[in-house]
Structure 1
Amino acid sequence: MAAKRRHFGRVRKLPSGRYQARYPGPDGVLRPAPQTFERKKDAESWLSRKETDIARGDWLDPDAGKVRLGDYGAAWIRERPSLRPRTLVLYEGLLRLHIVPALGELALSEITTPRLRRWRRDLLDAALGPVTVAKAYRLLRAILNTAVTDRLIATNPCQIPGAGQEKSAERPVATLEQVFVIAANVPARYRALVLLACFNSLRWGELAGLARRHIDAKSGTIVVERAVVELTDGSLHFGPPKSTAGVRVVTVPAAILPEITHHLDEYAEKGPDGLLFVGPKGGPLRRSNFQDHWTKALTAAGVEKMHFHDLRHTGNTWAAETGATLRDLMDRMGHATTRAALIYLHKSAGRDQVIADRLSQMIEQSRAPKDDEDDDGQAGALVPVAS
């Protein structure tokens, strides 16, 4: 049957008895509606809505959303050169491992909220950690937000309440005794690494980035101004900490300062730019070279399920027990704040010294000889400074 002409678009009855609507897009191409209609009136109503969309500038080219998610996601990452190396590694891994395998071949226009619910459920059912699933969802949501901005799709299908929220399991807090057992059971060149991670709330990358010039043994302070990220190709990237608040000065508890001084004398590279921590063969600190030592030390301490980052969590917990305020803790830990400038504890340097002093008192009290021990005090000695 011949199509009936209207002032906008056309409606025709198909041999099946249903009605097809077609309309001219702003580009002049005649396009059919994505579905047919049971009644002619329904087809005409659809054309009226499409005409309104075009008049408002809300029209989207239905062919634009045919780009594959995998291709678009990879381009989305490439087009953000300002991403920090750590973030770049994270995004590339999430896209490659958790998004592309299930969704990468789909066109952007084919991605729907129900499909994303199934994808998320499949990741959780496969025992992928909830935190990783939340990060993958947030990345996908950001990519599809850009697709909306690029007018490739009309709305973002990432509409699952709470899917992007991280709910990390509570991490273990070691005892003082366990921390010193761990420090005593790693090679001597790594003892200071363990102690600073715990008592100065330093991250692995921040520790790997420390040089001699960052340590002032006389004042007992450490300047944290850079961190190391290991990229997927194995190369190491030195750059600023993960946030501007990560640039800070922290005070070393006096009770462990002799261990740090000994480390500087025995194991750190020479010269002001020499790395504080290096491997036995002089190479930069890498997790892969340390993991076996860490595992053995955890076994000796009876805390096999601890991660290295849990030392920082442990130290933060103890610092809070000294009576530190929230502001004190945020400064010491290097957490991001709303302050716009880099602040090196100008307002809280005195409080940071108090935190370090109280931590030192906790250490000394914990390691002091008990009344029923021998007078030689061996049971309460700090980690020896020589192997």
Structure 2
Amino acid sequence: MASIAKRSDGKWRARYRDDAGKQYARHFSRKVDAQRWLNEVTAAVVTGQYVDPKAGRISFREYAEHWRHAQVHRPSSAAHVEGMLRRHAYPTFGDRQLATILPSEVQAWVRLLSTSDRRAKRKALAPETISVLHSVVSAIMRSAVRDRKIIANPCEGTRLPAKDRKPVVPLTTAQVDQIRELMPPELAALVTFTAGTGMRQGEVFGLTVDRIDFLRREVRVDRQLLTRPARRTEFGPTKTPASLRTIPLPQVVVDALAAHLVEHPAGEGGLVFTIGGAPITRQAFGHIWRPVARAVGLEPGTGMHALRHYYASLLIRFGESVKTVQMRLGHASAAETLDTYSHLWPDSDDRTRAAVDSVLATRSVEPHAPLDGRISPREWG
């Protein structure tokens, strides 16, 4: 039920009642604007897109928390999402009602995240981090649209900072040797193992003796060691299903593991690599790794992942295919492998030239073309 009436002050009052009998009204200077608003509401009801104006009064924080607890996230992903919302989204949008958040405000928020402020002691976030954070907030807003809390997602159309993806520059073998020499004795073999298998940090920290087959010279990757709040560790699933894999072990790695286990017997739960016999947490390892990385001359922020890049570069240098590199690293697709390492594969320009020359250079070429400029049948070849 809808109606339009002119008030004593000259304004036009448009009103309607929803299915629950609640009345909603707005006032306009012109009758045509009032009628347009009623038409939009009627169309929304007919098409099933009607949103109760009061539904969007819930705060972003309250709705986001309901959304977060309903997601089927792995524990590590759930903790990451919670931290990103708490640190970077709630300070800006936490107490705002969903319906009041505008696309222009989302754009301003992205710009704020991408700039530094010394007075506020705020550092600009990396473009990749901003992209992930924006995708989380956008997912929350999309859910709110589906739940009929808001009409549209204010995150749509946001311009994000361009990702400055620098090409991977692998470590040199000399640098790998330096890192191994500067590491504490109980972690020296960890460097050789990681550089010789390309396993991820959590996969290496979670390596147990029963996952190593010394006879077949291979290691099975089917879990990783996760660091929980309060530096608590526990085994968890691999990063993706594609990360489940078996990696062949070079003899140098087998020898390093054997010598390591003699000097440093397996720790808690059969863990091969430990610090003082206890599982390795990311924080504890970071305190050891960073001074070593500085001493070797690595760029600030270079982590243990550099050893994984080194392994990939070795496989590429010795002619392994994209598919093999993908399987060894546990990438979800060959596209991911190429996006990261395509610049490391040998340039094919010379092979292209040689292929064409090997065919065309052997063909006989007539010394003179016909006078009328046409090609004779015997030259079609």
- 1:9 pairs with one of 2, 9, 20: 2
SS at match of 1:300: helix
Segments of 5+ residues of structure 1 without an aligned counterpart are: 1-7, 339-387
The CA distance in 1 between the partners of 2:281 and 2:101, in whole Å, is 40
Q: 1:43 to 1:218 in 2, by over 3 A?
A: same
Q: 1:300 to 1:41 in 2, by over 3 A?
A: closer
2:288 corresponds to 1:293: yes
By how many angstroms is 1:241 displaced? 0.2
2:267 corresponds to 1:277: no
Q: Which residue of 2 aligns with 1:51?
A: 42
- Contact residue 225 and residue 235 of structure 2 kept, 8 A: yes
If asked which structure has higher relative contact order (CA below 8 Å, sep 6+), I would say 1
By how many angstroms is 1:162 displaced? 5.8
By how many angstroms is 1:177 displaced? 0.5
1:279-327 per-position Cα deviation (integer Å, ceiling 9, x unaligned): 12x1111122222322232233222522111221222222222211111
> Which has more radius of gyration?
2
> Mapping of 1:1-387 within 5 angstroms?
8-33=1-26, 36-80=27-71, 82-126=72-116, 127-160=124-157, 163=160, 167-269=164-266, 273-280=269-276, 282-305=277-300, 306-337=302-333
- Contact residue 85 and residue 237 of structure 1 kept, 8 A: no
Q: Which residue of 1 aligns with 2:119?
A: none
1:125-184 per-position Cα deviation (integer Å, ceiling 9, x unaligned): 131111111110010111111111111111111123563985544444210110111011
One-letter code aligned to 2:114: L
- Contact residue 69 and residue 106 of structure 1 kept, 8 A: yes
Q: 1:161 to 1:196 in 2, by over 3 A?
A: farther
RMSD over aligned CA atoms reads 2.1
- Contact residue 231 and residue 281 of structure 2 kept, 8 A: no
- Contact residue 197 and residue 247 of structure 2 kept, 8 A: yes
The CA distance in 2 between the partners of 1:283 and 1:154, in whole Å, is 52
The CA distance in 2 between the partners of 1:50 and 1:300, in whole Å, is 67
The CA distance in 1 between the partners of 2:58 and 2:34, in whole Å, is 28
- Using the size of structure 2 for normalisation, the TM-score is 0.80
Sequence identity of aligned pairs in percent?
Answer: 29
One-letter code aligned to 1:112: L
One-letter code aligned to 1:275: L
Q: How many residues align?
A: 326
SS at match of 2:114: helix
Segments of 5+ residues of structure 2 without an aligned counterpart are: 117-123, 335-381
The CA distance in 2 between the partners of 1:101 and 1:263, in whole Å, is 48
- Contact residue 127 and residue 161 of structure 2 kept, 8 A: no
By how many angstroms is 1:65 displaced? 0.8
Q: 1:20 to 1:237 in 2, by over 3 A?
A: farther
The CA distance in 1 between the partners of 2:306 and 2:84, in whole Å, is 23
SS at match of 1:193: helix
Q: 1:196 to 1:23 in 2, by over 3 A?
A: same
